[in-house]
Amino acid sequence: MGKTFAEKALGRAAGHEVRAGEIVTVEPDFCMSHDNAAPIARTFKKIGVKNVWKPERIVFILDHAVPAPSDDHAINHKEIREFSAEQGIANFFDVTSKGGVCHQVMCEEGFALPGLIMIGSDSHTCTYGAYGAFSTGIGRSEMAAAWATGQIWFKVPESLKVTVTGSFRPGVSAKDLILTLIGDIKADGADYMSVEFHGPAIEAMSIAERMTLCNMGIEMGAKNAVCPPDAKVLEAIRDKAKTDRWEALWADDDAVYAKELTYDAGDIVPCVAKPHTVDNYAAIDEAKGTPIHQAFLGSCTNARIEDLRAAAAILKGKQVAVRTIVIPASWKVYRQCLAEGLIETFLDAGCVITNPGCGPCMGNHEGILAPGETCISTANRNFKGRMGNKESFIYLASPLTVAASALKGEIADPREVL
Amino acid sequence: MGKTMIHKIIERSAGREVKVGDRVWCKIDLSTARDFGGANCVLQFQEVTDKKGKVWDPNKIAFTFDLQAPAHSEKVAVNQKIIRDFAREQGIEKVFDVNWGIGQHVLLEHGLVKPGDVILGTDSHMNLLGAVGAFATGVGNTDIVASWFEGTNWFRVPETMKITVTGRFARGVCMRDLLTKIVGDLGADGMFFKAVEFGGETIEAASLADRITLCSMVTEMSGKVGLIMPNGEVLDWLVERAGEEVRDRIKALAPDSDAVYSDDLHFDVDKLEPMASCPDAPDNVKTVREVAGNHVDQVHIGSCSNGRFEDIEAAYKVLEAGGFKVSPKVRTIITPATREVMRKCAAAGYIEKFLDAGIVFTNPTCSLCTAEHYGALPAGDVGVSTTNRNFIGKVGKGSHTYLMSPMSAMATAVRGVITDPRDILG
Amino acid sequence: MEKTILRGRAWVFGDDVDTDLIYHNKYLAETDPKKMPQYSFEYYPGKEHFAKEVKPGDFVVAGTNFGCGSSREHAVYCLKYAGVPVVLAENYSRIYYRNAINNGYPVLFIQGISQAIKDGKIEDGDELEVDLAKGEVKNVTKGTVFHGDAVADLEKDIMAAGGLIEYLKSRAEQ
Amino acid sequence: MKITGKVWKYGDDVNTDVIFPGKYTYTIKERSEMAKVALEDLDPEFTQKAKAGDIIVAGKNWGCGSSREQAVSCLKERGIGAIIAKSFARIYYRNCFNEGLPIIVSPDAVEAIEAGDEVTVDFDSGKVITARGEFPFPPYPDFVKGLIEDGGLIPHVKKSLGLK
């Protein structure tokens, strides 16, 4: 009987064969924290251990509110600076032009690698599955404990196999696929599970698109989400892998799955997730015409160069009709936008282009909504109050749909402007 | 008896002869409010008019969003919406939303400021518009609301202080340093309630950016407004933006040769050195040399005082001389004043070089001028900034700030400690 | 002004008290004047307890250039709605002065008070008696007297009307 | 161990943003302050009135969304005795044990219980006891029992490392 990806990755880390349902304790390859490293450090100090188990395995990336927008945030950042200096944590991305949204930086900088066990004190840590890593989000206490002990327990998850064939039609992208999938299986459709993406449509995708898919694994309750570590991944990590502990692992053909689903990419249409849940799917035909007050192109889900190129192609030479906030996922992406003239395109179209970071995604920074306002966003959550105000409304969509909507001032079908 | 610029402006606006000390009612050419103060104005106007009031002239009202753009707190988001909704309802079209930049600069770039105009705004640095000969002044929300009824407000006709500047700046020294010196010499209340006319060869040769810098800091000496006669390239720029009418306006604005001034000061910049306002007051002035080597955690370049393209370019030149690298010991943040400035920085290839050097480049906004935007400081940190105030705790309780020129700020970023830019420029 | 002789405790501040010290920029988004007193002087070193302990009737005493800095009217509201009946300073920054007048909020120009503060001749907690009509301030605790000017000219009329908006209204009615 | 309390009842997919709004993640540091804003975007009445010992009963996927542990801390600090749900989101589930906040998975109990009921959770016998009937729930895995007994992950780690 074959094994799933999760069984292989956790078995490799545990040093013995494992099957779904078993509880294993493993040593994480990398532990990622963002601005919440400060409260975690305080909890860590309460444990009473002097030093973190392996400083080289800990990564801090400031992204939730950078540069600090209040003295409270500034104090939080300062605590992280002091803690990383004291503990010798060299992988610290401070307020400079070297960082960005934590998950993007983890991938760009070669931390996300096939077969590694990666934990992060952020629920979207599952993004690194695009590189074939077993990666998952955990809470603050658990991260503090991991720093102290170098260990974390997992119940080996059952797996959901999603096979995608065919190819996207123009105006459709990975975001539409993942919103469709979550709409179908709902917010708890993959609770506790490992989601594996298989099939020719996945293989045809860029790593950026795979990151969009894996990023939203958590939105269906998954423990992790993963794509095959194929030649594209191996090429992407060449010369930048931060460790050689990695190994390209993938599920056996005869692995046993709790559930299997198949999609034809050609059947997917542009869509949105309506307020206030990610699984509140609506095809674009149903949603278009909804007036909006703000468009947001950003977040760890959809702000890579591929996403911004797609949006810029729609915005070029035109004027946005609503305030449009563009936040590249990282400074590398920002730099690439400059080189390709996209920053100019966005500025000329009337957008705000801020420094990379999480922006308004979780109600902390640039672009908070007022009561009664509606935003169309490329981010991953549209929960009530998510962007800072409980009486506002968030629609999730692809970069193409967000750009098309920004031009019209209402939710629009990107196929009509392409 | 001859008249100064401010007298001529007030007389034009009041429609009668005035003398120093008179309280007069003036016609307002433009009444503006920001995302800070703007919502207070709207709510107050609605309250006193029982929500039925109409503003006197929607074309003479403007809103700018710059204090926290885009909003990162719920309250500011709400305040911005209050303004947007009010503007729509009242037919006010001049709403410069979060994508434009610092208010006064955006108004200037849009040709909405003419020499001789009387302009109100909820920004104490509104008076930097004196750089093009406008009498603009910062006021509270009540003053703005009052102006919305009939387009008028009261002013006391101020005395005028004359400041003549001669000489040429040495390498590494600029208008900001002169200004810092003036603040140090005159003190925080050195221009108490007065208007100031800046003139002399140095001013006449100065760029618009430098004139803005100079006028912006009049606030820090408790002056009413600093005024400069537009000439040369500045005049051409202004005509291009605000129309030919500008030329007639300045003819009527020129001070009489026998105008009476309360003070007549002279500064020569030939031997001026880079200057710094040290913690925790703008008038606590020393030369940069005197504080060189001091510890710094963050450097910030931007604000309505020093966020124009020329300011950023001056900083760029220092970065270039320093090998396009800033010290990893400091966090360096650059904030352009407006979208137009940012666009120019992108086209010039500066942003790429800043990023390569490790510098954070933000969208146009007031940024670090409050503790509620990019670059707030934690207790114990020391900042260097090109903003205009270093009051204790202003950008974070228990933090301290040095105010300097963009060149000195960048030199500091390059070396990681307070540095005289001449040490890098050679 | 109904009551022209006021009695209360002094809270003493220095010269150049800027608007960030009176009402910090952190709270600029507040639009309800009645909620502003809770932040008064929060950033003034050594006076962080002002907002909690100030009692209606207490006086704010300061040196020169009180209220320099921002145009924020919050810096007037936060004292007015805390029940501070009048500010007693050597002089005021331009915008603060306007904002006070426009709100019908009394400010007195007290000669020599800046130096008196430096010399310890007026201190926190001193009992003061202020005659608004005469512009006289008696330090009951220390037995000293200061003289000041109340506002004149147009400002007096605006004050008498209760503030700029009220003044404009009454002018419109005439 | 037995817990008895009054029930606050909620639906499916209640996410971490309504349990503890994201805008507070860096402005609220004290647990006591976290408790004050618990569930404010979902149920202001809870925020005002919930008392120590009260029990939350909810549908499927309680706590989906962010990894923010404050969404557990705020309820634990508020004194919530237990959460009974049809299912819990993964990270929330872990965070509860890590914080030592007892949770029970019992779809049947959730169906039966109404808001305002008084409910007893008997951990020893593994039953939810209500006026509408008794509902057994499976015991925690041994591993998790250890966490709860030690009062959460941090005390558990201290104990296992031999630290005081």
pLDDT in tens, C3-48: 679 999 999 999 999 999 999 999 999 999 999 999 999 999 999 9
pLDDT tens digits, one per residue of D148-159: 888 899 999 999
pLDDT at site A160: 98
Mean per-residue pLDDT for B21-40? 95
- Residue C174 pLDDT: 75
Chain D nearest-CA distance from A169, in A, is 30
Among B143-147, B250-254, C132-136, whose mean pLDDT is lowest?
Answer: C132-136
Question: Domain of B263?
Answer: 7-267
Q: Which tens digits make up the pLDDT trace of B75-98? A: 999 999 999 999 999 999 999 999
Say if B75 falls within a structural domain: yes
Distance of alpha carbon A229 from alpha carbon D146, whole angstroms: 37
Chain B positions touching A370 (Cβ under 8 A) are 71, 74, 77-78, 80-81
What pLDDT shows up at residue D27? 85
Domain locations along chain A: 5-263, 272-416
Among B412, B125, B381, smallest CA distance to B274 is for B412
B271-330 confidence digits (pLDDT tens): 999 999 999 999 999 999 999 999 999 999 999 999 999 999 999 999 999 999 999 999
| Contact (Cβ atoms closer than 8 angstroms) between residue A301 and residue A380 | yes
Q: Cα angle vertex B40, ends B35, B44, to 5°? A: 145
Give the model's confidence band at B247: pLDDT under 50 very low, under 70 low, under 90 confident, else very high.
Answer: very high
pLDDT in tens, B153-170: 999 999 999 999 999 999
The complex scores an ipTM of 0.92
Position A203 pLDDT exceeds 90: yes
Q: Check if the beta carbon of residue B30 is closer than 8 Å to that of residue B117.
A: yes
Question: Are residue B212 and residue B292 in the same domain, yes or no?
Answer: no
Query: How many Å separate Cα B376 from the centre of its chain?
Result: 20
| CB nearest to A139's CB, from D60, D87, D94 | D94
Q: Is the pLDDT of residue A33 over 80?
A: yes
Distance CA A74, CA B381 (A): 9
* Total domains, chain D: 1
Cα distance from A69 to chain B (closest Cα, Å)? Answer: 4
Same domain for B227 and B280, yes or no, is no
Please tell me the predicted confidence (pLDDT) of residue D139: 82
- The last residue of a domain, from among B236, B267, B298: B267
Q: Are residues B102 and B180 in the same domain?
A: yes
CB of C28 within 8 Å of any CB in chain B?
A: yes
Q: What pLDDT is attached to residue D142?
A: 80
- Provide, as residue numbers in chain D, all residues whose Cβ is less than 8 Å from the Cβ of A383: 15-18, 65
Neighbours of chain A (3+ CB pairs under 8 A): B, D
Please tell me the distance in Å from C66's CA to the nearest CA on chain B.
10
| Cα of C60 vs its chain's centroid, Å | 6
Task: Check CB contact of B391 with chain A, cutoff 8 Å.
Answer: no
Q: Which two tokens stand for residue C30?
A: 């507040």
* Residue C18 sits at the chain B interface (C-beta within 8 Å): yes
Is it the case that chain D and chain C have 3 or more CB pairs lying under 8 Å apart?
no
The alpha carbon torsion through B297, B299, B304, B309 (nearest 10 deg) reads -170
Residue D100 belongs to what domain range? 2-160
Is 90 exceeded by the pLDDT of residue C133? no
- Which own/partner pairs from C43-49 qualify as long-range (CB within 8 Å, at least 24 positions apart)? C43/B392, C43/B393, C43/B394, C43/B397, C44/C13, C44/C17, C45/B392, C45/B393, C47/C11, C47/C13
Query: Which range is least confidently modeled, A264-273, A301-310, B353-362, D29-38?
Result: D29-38
Q: Which pLDDT belongs to residue B154?
A: 94
Which residues, including other chains, have CB under 8 Å from residue A46's CB and lie 6 or more apart?
Answer: A144, D154
Above 60 in pLDDT, residue C130? yes
Beta carbons of C99 and B222 less than 8 Å apart: no
* Residue type for position B393: G
Q: What is the pLDDT of residues B354-388, one digit of tens each?
A: 999 999 999 999 998 888 889 999 999 999 999 99
| Domain closes at, from B267, B295, B315 | B267
Q: What is the mean pLDDT of residues B337-349?
A: 98
Output helix, strand, coil percentages for chain C, rounded to the nearest 5.
35, 20, 45
Domains A5-263 and A272-416 share a fold: yes
Q: What is the CATH number of the domain that holds C28?
A: 3.20.19.10
Mean pLDDT, rounded, of chain A: 97
In this complex, the chains that touch C, judged by 3 or more CB pairs closer than 8 A, are: B
Read off the pLDDT of each residue in D62-79 and give the average, rounded to a whole number. Answer: 95
Domains in chain C: how many in total? 1
Do residues B330 and B299 touch, judged by C-beta distance below 8 A? yes
Say what the pLDDT of residue D148 is: 81
Higher per-residue confidence, C135 vs A92: A92
Options 3.30.499.10, 3.30.559.10, 3.60.10.10, 3.40.1160.10; CATH of A5-263: 3.30.499.10
pLDDT at residue C1 greater than cutoff 60: no
**C163 with B140: Cβ contact below 8 A:** no
DSSP state of A330: B
Is A97–B357 a contact, with Cβ atoms under 8 angstroms apart?
yes
A interface mutation test: which of B81, B368, B387 has the most A CBs within 10 A?
B81
Contacts of A123 in chain D (CB under 8 A): 65-67, 91
| Vertex B320: Cα angle to B314 and B326 (nearest 5) | 100
Residues paired with A299 in a beta bridge: none
Give strand ranges (E) for B172-242.
195-199, 225-227
Write the pLDDT tens digit of every residue in B192-212: 999 999 999 999 999 999 999
* Nearest-neighbour CA in chain A from B85: distance (Å): 11
Tokens linked to B352: 């790429």
C-beta atoms surrounding B328 within 10 Å: 11
Cis peptide before A67 (omega within 30 of 0): yes
B417 pLDDT more than 90: yes
User: The domain containing residue C11 runs over which residues?
Assistant: 5-173
pLDDT, tens digit (0-9, with 9 covering 90-100), for C159-172: 899 999 999 988 88
Chain B contact present for C93, CB below 8 A: yes
CATH number at residue D99: 3.20.19.10
To the nearest 10°, report the CA torsion of A313, A319, A321, A326.
Answer: 50
Record: fold of A272-416? Aconitase; domain 3 (3.30.499)
Tens of pLDDT, residues A326-366? 999 999 999 999 999 999 999 999 999 999 999 999 988 99
How many domains would you assign to chain B? 2
Read out DSSP for D24-56? GTTT--SHHHHHHHTTTTT-HHHHHH--TT-EE
Which of A77, A325, A350 has the CB atom closest to B378's CB atom? A77
Any domain includes B43: yes
